[in-house]
A = this chain, B = another copy of it.
Amino acid sequence: MVINEALSASLEDYLEAIFHIIAEKQAARAKDISKRLKVGGSSVTGALRSLAEKGLINYAPYDLITLTPKGRAVAEDVVRRHEALRDFFVNVLTIEEKEADEAACRMEHAIPKTILERLIQFAEFVEVCPRGGSKWIAGFQYHCDHGSTQQTCERCISLILEELRKKKTQGGQKPMAVVNLKDLKPGQKAKVVKIKARGDTNRRIVEMGVTPGALIEVERVAPLGDPVDVKVKGYHLSLRKAEAEGIDVEII
């Protein structure tokens, strides 16, 4: 078992495919992989041997394929890169979903860690900052389609004024639209306003990257509200009900 060798783009693709297949079914089979990656069966066998040798998958000839803990960690890292790129393309560059996904698939193997982190922070910043937001992205769209001129810039500025006025009349005494994380529905995005939890729970929440100002997206809420699956800084987290209740957010 070879340890800690950097994976090739190809092997990252295989690992990512296995990760997604396992998320849908219980375990992956060679056929699923070959269908998903559009490669011949014999190529899959070779890749599986390679991944098993590196200790990333549990695999023996003719056997089902599962991820080792190490393999799961690496796969989650690949998926995080993929999603970060795709989300940036879709949410900031307003690229169409399918095309964004394909581009992310190709670029995910080449993006270095530091750039990735920055990109995730930037995409978050665009959504969270009052100077950014969906209105601004719409302005970017307009700029792309018509080219911005003096007039459109003035329109843009008046938009900011409007937003400021709204803030001023609503806010003041109490920040508006602050709710508890547990009350969000899947798909909703929010800005973390305050961590109410204290002690150990507080520590755990902050360690996961949930800090005031951060963007948080609810992915799934289990029947009784426990656990709540969220995405923060590109990471998929599963929060206990007690943890979710300790987080106040402002819906975006």
Contact = CB atoms under 8 A, between A and B. Distances in A.
Interface string A147-189: 1111011001100110010010000000100000000000000
A136 interface: yes
A204 interface: no
Given A94-B118, A121-B144, A130-B156, 16 more contacts: A89-B115, A93-B122, A95-B115, A95-B118, A106-B110, A106-B112, A122-B140, A125-B143, A125-B148, A129-B148, A129-B153, A131-B131, A147-B212, A149-B212, A149-B213, A161-B164
Contacts of A89: 115, 118
Contacts of A128: 143, 148
Contacts of A37: none
A167 B161 CA distance: 13
Q: How many copies does the complex hold?
A: 2
**SS class of chain A's interface: helix, strand, loop or mixed?**
helix
A56 to B, nearest CB: 22
A11 interface: no
B111 A107 contact: yes
Contact of A160 (B122, B131, B140): B131
5 closest Cβ contacts across the A-B interface? A148-B213, A106-B110, A147-B213, A93-B118, A107-B110
Q: Which of A102, A149, A161 has the most CB of B within 10 A?
A: A149
Interface string A128-145: 111110001001100110
